[in-house]
Amino acid sequence: MISVPVSLFKAYDIRGKIDLLTPDFAYWVGRACGAIAIERGLTNLALGFDGRLSSPALAAALSHGLVEAGVQVFDLGLSCTPLLYFAALKHAAGSGIMITGSHNPPDYNGIKIMLGGVTVAGEALQALRQRIETESVPCQASGAAQALSVTDEYYSTLQQQLPLVQSVARPLKIVIDCGNGSPGAVAPTLYRLLGCEVIELYCEVDGLFPNHHPDPQVAENLRELQATVLAQQADLGLAFDGDGDRLGVVTRSGKIIPGDHLLMLFACAELAQRTGHILYDVKSSRAVAQWVAQHGGTSEAIPTGHSHMKRRLRETGALVAGELSGHFAFAAWGVDDALYAGAKLLQQVAAGLDLDTELARFPVNHSSPELQIPLDESGHALVEQIAQQAHFPSAQQISLIDGLRIEYTDGFGLIRASNTTPVLTLRIEADTIVALQRIRQELAAAIAPHPFPDFEEK
């Protein structure tokens, strides 16, 4: 029996520190993925890796396992997740594996798997682990690996799908900050091909991330982007995480647009073309549903996680799905590609949308940032305990879609367990400061004796 670290198998992907996520481990993941793929008649599989120092060795070992399982591997080499998804869908019947630690620290890495167009997550990921442990990984001699480049094809496809109608005399001036992540090898060229004047920040791929961490959800990581947009009088700034599936945006006035407000911008543009459905994750503002309804659409809350988002997008035929964290997937593209989402936003700006003016039209509320409490215990067990024992005196209803989303007539509170790290995630939104404090008190009582974190209201 092969022993593998159970802790590496998260809800949506495989992820952890590189002292556990080793090349030997990656080899067995390759063998198991390959065996499952062959059983499903999926003989081709795309493989890429991000710019982390540990990624090339992990990719080489995983490729070796895939080949021994009988798979034809299309090796993209250094890549970003949008390119991997594109290669998988165009050249490998929707099957691909990306070696990436995403927005985690440099000593972490991960493995994202898609087979037949479906993310391997949840029970399917645990079944893969069991295949390894029980050595149900037959070896065949028919596999092989070959290099594949899809970058030019990706560029031309986005140019065709997302043309920017803008003045030749004054193209959009944008600043892009890739935080030394792997999107830096792609994003500058893409947006120049779309006709933009591009100012680059940290687009040199460096797995040590020497300038700032590549997580656009953290405001501190966007400070230099904000300053550069203002100094250069740019139309907007775009930021990407370490593998290019999360988007952050700064307006020309230097304001950071939260992920749920970005979704509202995307929803408005999509609903102007046709009536349809919008998906938002449980961390997102109540304003999303209100805004969508005002624009003639329908909406629903979904669990947080890119695998949930893409699955529900397919099931419902929704126009667009988004998360507070900056993951977005559009019906016409089907995967969470931040470079694509950035181009969709540029289309709106090129057509005359003033982001600051549009954002000023959005409902005003008071909210906390996403708050996290480190845990030594199981976050999911703790949330279940809170659900059984806690009392929320002024609540209107409680949703159990993903943790506890406690709805009030004047706001909401969220208590959920992270599916990627051992933390309890909290968020509050309210119509007034008084309501914000009341909801905070009810959530603080529910999670006691864990202390409720201090925060600055947004």
Active-site residue set? 102
Residues forming beta bridges with residue 110, ordered by sequence position:
15
Q: How far is CA 156 from CA 124, 160, 163, 190, in A?
A: 34, 6, 10, 9
Residue 10 corresponds to which amino acid? K
Q: Are the C-beta atoms of 302 and 280 separated by less than 8 Å?
A: yes
Query: What dihedral angle (degrees, nearest 10) is formed by the CA atoms of 180, 343, 104, 229?
Result: 60
Q: Which residues pair with 278 in a beta bridge?
A: 299, 320
Nearest 10 degrees: Cα torsion 44, 142, 148, 79: 70
Cα of first residue to Cα of last residue in the chain, in angstroms, is: 52
What values do phi and psi take at 452, rounded to 5? -80, 125
Residues written for the chain: 458
The one-character DSSP state at 196 is -
List, as one string, the DSSP characters of 130-177.
Answer: HHHHTT-----S--EEEE---HHHHHHHHHHHS-----SSSPPEEEEE
Q: How many CB atoms lie within 10 A of CB 317?
A: 9
Nearest CA to 13 among 137, 107, 96, 133?
Answer: 96
